[in-house]
Amino acid sequence: MNKKITLSSFTLLWGFFLTLSTFAQGTGGGNSEADLLADLAPESPVRKYAAYTFKSTRIINTHSIENVAAGVLELRIMHRFGAISGGWYELWGLDQAGMRMSLDYGVTPWLTVGGGRTNVGKSYDSFLKIKILRQSSGALKRPVSVSLVSGGIASALRWDNPDRKNYFSSRLSYYHQLLVARKISEEISLQFTPTLLHRNFVEKPEIPNDLWALGTGGRFKLSSRVSANFDYIWLTQASSLKVRNNLSVGVDIETGGHVFQLHVSNGRGLNEGQFIAGSLGNWNDGTVYFGFNLSRVFTVREPRELRIIR
């Protein structure tokens, strides 16, 4: 029953975004004669790349197709509070807080590396993101942007049974993701994220070490600085693991060098191992968690073109 309801919620969200896309394209302005002339005009030889498919390097939880610019360092703070269903006694979850702090750096325009620490589970993580293709039009048409993300997670929790022989490798998990995104219009962006999550240590022999998931996310631009976002991660083994597929919705607000993200999610986890395979909250009974992400960028190394000019 829970699985059907969760999938139904996702279907409604997906239909909402597609409806907004159709509306935005149908009310784009201009007259039909001008559109016909544009169709008959010779194709521009200039290659034009899609820019700002998403406002941030994270949609909400999951990586977005965006990279940190070359020579730029991004400080990101992710907060997730307790369950809203806790009511007044828990101040609707604000009495509890999980946090992840991270630093991501743009090595080149196509390579970002980063890492962070999460107090939920006392875990450390690192990743690299490689841009493979960029959506473009004009002389070279590419319908989508594609990136590859590979990361590792290490738990620093004390051993449950310190007297037995424990291995450091048991603390490790790995994930690999293919990000496929398209900026449909100035207002609508969509992304699909096939994911493989590998955990070296599992509690029972019947639990698989390898977990497969399909993430999907979207952005609807409300104004030049505000957008509505959603994340959904469908885990193929969710029912056997007795967890729920992660669903998060929120808004992005850009304020100069900051991007402020407000959201609600049915998972408290803040790294891939946690929110992909450990979401327990239920949207139906209010066991969901309010949170926010805050990012700030700093220029560490100026682009080569600016150094040459100076």
3-state DSSP of the chain: CHHHHHHHHHHHHHHHHHHHHHHHHHCCCCCHHHHHHHHHCCCCCCCEECCCCCCCCECCCCECCCCCCECEEEEEEEEEEEEHHHCHHHCCCCCCEEEEEEEEEEEECCEEEEEEEECCCCEEEEEEEEEEECCEECCCCECCEEEEEEEEEEECCCCCCCCCCCCHHHHEEEEEEEEEEEECCCCEEEEEEEEEEEECCCCCCCCCCEEEEEEEEEEEECCCCEEEEEEEEEECCHHHHCCCCEEEEEEEEEECCEEEEEEEECCCCCCHHHHHHCCCCEHHHCECEEEEEEEEEEECCCCHHHHHHC
pLDDT, tens digit (0-9, with 9 covering 90-100), for 65-114: 999 999 999 999 999 999 998 888 988 889 888 999 999 999 999 999 99
Domain 2-309 has CATH 2.40.160.40: yes
pLDDT number for residue 174: 97
pLDDT averaged over 10-residue windows placed end to end, the chain, 310 residues: 43 45 42 42 71 94 96 95 90 90 97 96 96 93 96 93 88 97 97 97 89 97 95 93 95 86 95 94 92 93 59
pTM of the model: 0.81
Q: What is the pLDDT of residue 45?
A: 66
Question: What is the model's pLDDT at position 115?
Answer: 97
pLDDT attached to residue 143: 96
